[in-house]
Structure 1
């Protein structure tokens, strides 16, 4: 998480998270049923992708986070992780998935649009940040 300080700044308003911040956020998300996959390369974690099979707010599956360690950006790992998640969702007969992108996260918005997501609405995230909500139909 802390290899991407610009992302942290947009989402939580500070560049770096403590280990306790990360544990607490993960604990809350896992209690809601979120699934977390660590992206491993050469026995090292280089990223994380998470999804919530059924968001209690709209009952749709949501991607919660895709973050790649800064040293491994632009290597195709994010696209591969998304492909693997697409396969997982297809195996569960899930035909669409949503996610949010915080306003100002142009790099994130570009990635999701390149991977078939389109903006369907706007809102606020759990930190009260303005967001764009994206969806992809399978």
Structure 2
């Protein structure tokens, strides 16, 4: 069973986020043009999320932090619910954690009265695109974010 726990600036939680992110160097290369991040990038993410009203969660399984999820219920641009970050620790990929975490997140968003969920995926992130398409998401537009092509995907809940 997974637990969602609000992420915070507590040192323990920031350390967990850094470890989860740094277990995925290929994702970091796509997102940040380098393989690892540090506490300063996590702090910057907190500031950006606070500014945009994004909720930050750590996913816990058997007392271990296994994933980071950021989402908002009402994006100021289009008033839709969006997932802005969904990263599972490399050691827990392929174990069903991502599927279970997404299922619980979808239920959480649905209980909030939202009927659609959106996210953006780097166009070259084939594994990510495959995962989200298997979850029922489809592409509705292509955008450039930070000079990199992304697919915007959505799913009716």
TM-score, structure 2 normalization: 0.83
User: Which of 63, 67, 72 is equivalent to 2:87?
Assistant: 67
Task: Tell me whether 105-114 or 18-27 shows the greater mean CA deviation.
Answer: 18-27
Q: Which consecutive residues of structure 2, in runs of 5 or more, have no partner in the other structure?
A: 1-20
- Name the structure 2 match of 1:28: 48
* 1:70-90, Cα deviation, whole Å (9 max, x unpaired): 000011111111111111111
TM-score scaled to structure 1, two decimals?
A: 0.94
* 2:53 maps to 1:58: no
**Count of aligned pairs between the two proteins:** 137
Alignment correspondent of 1:13: 33
Provide the rounded CA distance (Å) in 2 between the counterparts of 1:124 and 1:58: 17
Question: Structure 2: how far apart are the matches of 1:39 and 1:73?
Answer: 13
Instruction: Answer yes or no: is 1:137 the counterpart of 2:156.
Output: yes
CA deviation string 1:110-132 (max 9, x = no partner): 0000000001110022x232100
Segments of structure 1 that go 5 or more residues without pairing to the other structure are none
Give the 4+ runs in structure 1 shifted more than 4 A. Answer: none
> Which residue of the partner structure matches residue 105 of structure 1?
125
Structure having the higher helix fraction is 2
**Hey, what's the Cα distance between the residues in 2 that align with 1:109 and 1:16?**
22
